[in-house]
Structure 1
Amino acid sequence: MNVFLASIIFIISYFFIITEKGNRALVACIGGVLMLLCGVITFDQALLMYIDWHTVTLLLSMMILVSITSRSGIFEYLAIYLAQAVKGRPIPLLVVIASLTACGSALLNNVTTVLLIVPIIFTITSILQISAIPYLMATILAANIGGTATLIGDPPNVMISQAVDHFTFNSFLIHLGPVVAIIYFLVMTGIVFLYRSKLSVRADQSRSLMAISPRSFIVNKVLAYKSIFVLVITTLGFIAQSYLQVGITSIAMAGALLLMLLAANEHETEEVLQSVEWVTIFFFIGLFMLVGGLEEIGLLDHIAQAIMSVTDGNLSTTALLVLWVSGIVSGFVDNIPFVAAMIPVMLEFESYGVQNMDPLWWALALGACLGGNGTIVGASANVVVAGLAVKAKQPFNYVDFLKVGLPTVIISFVVSTIYLYLRYFTYL
C-alpha cells in the first residue's frame, strides 16, 4: 500500500512542480507532509535521514552573503565599469557581460547572478538603443555553464557535494572547470556569430554610455568594502577547504554570519533575513521528503538495477548514459528535483560493484547543469530571465529560446562525452 501511495504522491507533486501550476515550494512541502500522513516515512526519518540540512544551510548562507552584498551596488558598478572598458562596443560588451555572468554564477549562484545582471543589460542596451535579446540569451547560457564549474554555482552541484564526502570546492574546479571553459568558449563564439547582425551601434550612442559614472551606482561604499572583504575570505576558505579540514557548509555559514555582524549598522538583521529566498529553501525541504518517500519504498533501488542492467555494469557506458539522460530530462524538468531523485539512485550503484563512482557523479553534474540550457523551463535562471524580459517588453518565447538552447546542449554534451571518455575511461 505504501508503494502505491508514495508513487501517487510523488507523481502528482512532480506534475504540479513541472507545469508550475502553483507555488513549487508549497507543492513540494504538501507532498512531503502527505508522505508523513500516509505513513510512508516518519517525522524522525524526515528530519534525521532524508532532509539534507547541509545543502539547506549552505544555500541559506550564500543567499545571505549575496543579499547583503547586492545592497551596496557593487555588482552594478562592476557591470558599468566593464561596459565602459570596452567603450560600449556591442560584441566585446556581450563577451564581457557573459563572462561576468559566468564568473558570478560560479562564485555565487546562477539565479542570483542573473537577477543582478539582467537589469543592467536593460539599462545598457537602452542607452545604446540596441536589442537586449542577444545579451539575455548569452546571460542565460553563461549562467548555466558557469554555474557548472563550482560546488556552489548551481544547486545540483551543492546537492552532489553533500552526497559525496570527499568532494571539495577544488574537486569541482579541477574536474569540471576544464570542460566548462571549452564549452563556454564554443557557445559564446556561436552566440556572437548568430547575432552578429544585431550587434552594432552608432558612435553617439557609445558616448552616452561613456558619460555615465560607475561610482554613482555605489549606494554604500563602506558596505561595499566589507562585502568584498568577506566574499574574498569566504571564497579563499572554499578553495583551502581540504587543508583547513572544515566543512564547506561551516565556511559559508561563518562568512554569512561575519558579514551580517559587520553590516549590522547598515542593515538590520531582520531585513537581511526577510530578503532570503525562503521559497527556494522550503522547496528543497519538501523535495527531500518527497524523494525520501521513494527511497523508503525501494523504488530508487529498482531504478538503479534497471540502469545497471542496460549498461551491463560497464563504467564508461553507465557514465555516458547518466550524462545524456540527465541532460535530456533536465531540459524539460527543473534540474533541482531531477538531481534530488537521482542522488539516491547513484548511491545505489555502489552496492552493485561500481568501484570508482567519481566519473558518474561528474557525468550527473554536467548533464543536469548543462541540460538546463535546452529549453526555457530547463533551469530556474531561464525562467527568471524570461520573466524579466516580459516586464521590460523585450520578450522571447519557448521556440525563440529553443533555437539557441538546443544547439547549445548538443555542443555541450558532445564535448562532455569526449572529455569524460578521454579523462576517465581511456585506461579501461
Structure 2
Amino acid sequence: MTTILALLIFVVSYCLIMTEKWNRALIALAGGVLLLITQVLDWEEALGFIDWETIALLFSMMVLVSITKKTGIFTFAAIKLAQAVQGKPVPLLIVTALFTAIGSAFLDNVTTVMLFVPVLLTLVERLHLPAFPYLLTTILCANIGGTATLIGDPPNIMIGQAVEHFTFLSFLNHLGPVVIIIFVVVLGFILVLFKKQFAYNERLARQLLDMDAREHVVVNKLLFHSILVMILTVTGFMLHPFIHMDITTIAVSGAILLLFLSDKQLEAERVFQEVEWVTLFFFIGLFMLVGGLEKVGIIDEIARGMMVVSGGDMPITSLMMLWASGLLSGIVDNIPFVAAMIPVVQELQGYGMMNVDPVWWSLALGACLGGNATLIGASANVVVAGLAASHKHPIPFVKFALYGIPVMLLSLVICTIYVILRYLVPFLS
C-alpha cells in the first residue's frame, strides 16, 4: 500500500506540474507533505532525502548574483557581448551556446547558468528578441557541456567519488569527444528550428553599438568587492579538486564574505528578498517526492530489474544503462537515480565482469544528457526556469519538453553509436 501511495503521489504531482495551472513549488511541496500525511515518509526521512548541499549551493550563488547585479556589471557584460556580435541574433545564439557549454564543463552547469542567464535576459530584452530560443539553448548546452567533466554535473561528481581511478582527465578523455559531437548536432538542430524567429533589428543593433557600456556600471566599493569575491569563488570552483574543498563550501564562503563586505551599502534583508525562494522550495519538494520513490524501493527495483534483464552481458548492460538512465533522468532527478545505481554497478564484478568502465561511462552519459528531456530533469533546468519566470519570461513545461525530448533521444542515439564503437566492439566479436 505504501508503494502505491508513493507512486500515486509522485505521478499526480508530476502531472499537475505539467499543467502549469498552479505554482510548481507549491505542487511539489504539497506532494511532499502528502507523503508525510500518509506516513510514507516521516520528517527525519524527508529531511534526509533533501540534498541540502545543492540547496545551499543554489542559495549562495543567488546571493552572489543578487549583490553583483546591483553594480550594473551584468548590463555592462550584456552590452559588450551584443557589441561583439554586432547585435545579430544567430551569432548571439552561437556565443550563448559556446559560453554555456564551456562554462558548464569547467565550473558546473548550475553556477554557469546562475551567472550567465541575467546577462542573457538583459540582452534579449534590449534587442527585442524572443527569449525562449536562447533560454532553451542555455539549458540544453549547460547539460551537454556539464557531461564532459568530473565537476560539470552532480552525477559525474558522484561517479568520480565512487571509482578511484577516474580523474578529471579521465572524464574529459572518455566523455569529451562525444559531447563535442552532440553539441554541434544540437546547435545545428536549434538554428534550423528557430531560424525564422531570429529577426535582425538594425535600429536596435545600431543603438547598442553606439552605447557606452561603462555608463551602466556603478563604480564604487561594492563593484570591486563583488568582482573580487566572484573571481575568488570561481577560482575556488576550478581548483576544488586540488584544494580538497567541496563546491558548496566555496560558494557559501563567497556568499558570506560578500554579505559582510556589502553590509554598509546593502542590508542583508534586502539581498535575501531577491533570492529565488520559489526555485529553492521547488527543489525541496522535488527531493521529497523522489525520496518517497526511493524509500519504498521503486528506484532500487528498477536498478535490479535492469541487471536481471541484461544477465551480466557487457554490451546489453552498458546500452541498457545508457538508455534507462537517460529516459528516467528526464522524469526524476538524476541524483537519486545515480545514487541507487552506483552500488549496483559495483556489484557487477560479482557477475564476472572484470572491467565495468563502459557501464560507468554509459551511466554518466545517460544521467547527464537525459536531464535535457524536461524542465525538472536537471538542476540547471529548474534554475533557468526560475530566473526566466522572475524576469517575466516563463518557460512552459510542455513547450520545453517538445524540444527537450527529441534532443535527449538524439543525444542517446549518438551516445549509443559512440559507446559501441569505443568500448563494446571487442565484446561483440
Q: TM-score, structure 2 length as denominator?
A: 0.77
SS at match of 1:353: helix
Amino acid at match of 2:126: T
Conserved? CA contact 2:29–2:282, under 8 Å: yes
SS at match of 1:240: helix
Residue of structure 2 in register with 1:183 after alignment: 182
| Unmatched 5+ stretches in structure 2 | none
Residue of structure 2 in register with 1:287 after alignment: 286
Residue of structure 1 in register with 2:301 after alignment: 302
Residue of structure 1 in register with 2:120 after alignment: 117
Instruction: Determine whether 1:274 maps to 2:273.
Output: yes
Deviates more, 1:216-225 or 1:49-58: 216-225
For 2:31 and 2:396, the matched residues in 1 are separated by 33
Tell me: CA distance 1:163–1:82, structure 2 relative to 1, closer, same or farther (3 Å).
same
CA drift at 1:120: 1.1
Conserved? CA contact 2:82–2:123, under 8 Å: no
Deviates more, 1:142-151 or 1:177-186: 142-151
For 2:233 and 2:188, the matched residues in 1 are separated by 33
For 2:270 and 2:151, the matched residues in 1 are separated by 24
Conserved? CA contact 1:101–1:114, under 8 Å: no
Conserved? CA contact 1:36–1:42, under 8 Å: yes
Alignment of 1:25-424 (within 5 A): 25-47=25-47, 49-103=48-102, 107=107, 108-110=111-113, 113-124=116-127, 126=128, 135=134, 138-149=137-148, 157-158=153-154, 161=157, 165=161, 170=168, 176-192=175-191, 201=200, 206-220=205-219, 222-328=221-327, 333=331, 337-340=332-335, 342-350=337-345, 352-353=347-348, 363-364=362-363, 366-371=365-370, 373-374=372-373, 379-380=381-382, 402=402, 408-421=407-420
- Cα-Cα RMSD: 4.1
For 1:358 and 1:274, the matched residues in 2 are separated by 46
Amino acid at match of 2:300: D
Tell me: CA distance 1:30–1:174, structure 2 relative to 1, closer, same or farther (3 Å).
farther
Q: Percent identity?
A: 44
For 1:77 and 1:174, the matched residues in 2 are separated by 36
Q: Deviations over 1:214-241 (max 9, x none)?
A: 1233245543332232222222222222
CA drift at 1:116: 3.8
For 1:12 and 1:188, the matched residues in 2 are separated by 34
SS at match of 1:41: coil
CA drift at 1:12: 2.7
CA drift at 1:249: 1.9
For 1:131 and 1:146, the matched residues in 2 are separated by 23
Conserved? CA contact 1:25–1:280, under 8 Å: yes
Residue of structure 1 in register with 2:23 after alignment: 23
Tell me: CA distance 1:323–1:113, structure 2 relative to 1, closer, same or farther (3 Å).
farther
Conserved? CA contact 1:111–1:384, under 8 Å: no
Conserved? CA contact 2:20–2:396, under 8 Å: no
CA drift at 1:274: 1.9
CA drift at 1:296: 2.7
Q: Deviations over 1:275-326 (max 9, x none)?
A: 2222222223233333333333223222112111222234553343343344
For 1:235 and 1:111, the matched residues in 2 are separated by 12
For 1:388 and 1:52, the matched residues in 2 are separated by 24
Instruction: Determine whether 1:3 maps to 2:3.
Output: yes
For 1:197 and 1:326, the matched residues in 2 are separated by 35
Conserved? CA contact 2:85–2:92, under 8 Å: yes
Tell me: CA distance 1:405–1:9, structure 2 relative to 1, closer, same or farther (3 Å).
closer
Q: Deviations over 1:15-53 (max 9, x none)?
A: 323433433323333332333333333333333x42222
CA drift at 1:123: 1.0
SS at match of 2:344: helix
Q: Deviations over 1:233-287 (max 9, x none)?
A: 2222222222222222212211221222222233221122222222222223233
Conserved? CA contact 2:150–2:160, under 8 Å: no
For 1:80 and 1:343, the matched residues in 2 are separated by 40
| Unmatched 5+ stretches in structure 1 | none
Conserved? CA contact 1:136–1:385, under 8 Å: no
Tell me: CA distance 1:416–1:259, structure 2 relative to 1, closer, same or farther (3 Å).
farther
